[in-house]
Amino acid sequence: MDVGKRIIELREQKNISTNKLANLAGVSQSYLRDIEMGSKNPTVEILSYICFALNISLQDFFSESKTINPFLLSAIESLTDEEQIKLAEFINTIKK
């Protein structure tokens, strides 16, 4: 897995700039850019800070599952809890 590309993917899904992610994770913007470009590798500690800033676990970071379209994710996040539950129930009915 390319850690830098994965950070970019997750950051863009959440519509977070490199600068904002660096600030949230407590690392310099240039260091984060170096990680994203593949010229530096983060320690597990730094990667855990980045994951915390992205509001995901390290397990989620390394998960190879399909990612959700950012537009769709944004639309789902704008729903109320009750609407999200109804959407999940609907999806479960059409998956069968």
**Cα 12 to Cα 89: distance, rounded to the nearest angstrom:** 28
Q: Given this model, what pLDDT does residue 39 score?
A: 94
Each residue's pLDDT expressed in tens, for the chain with a length of 96 residues: 789 999 999 999 999 999 999 999 999 999 999 999 999 999 999 999 999 999 998 888 888 656 667 788 788 889 898 998 888 888 888 865
pTM beyond 0.75, yes or no: no
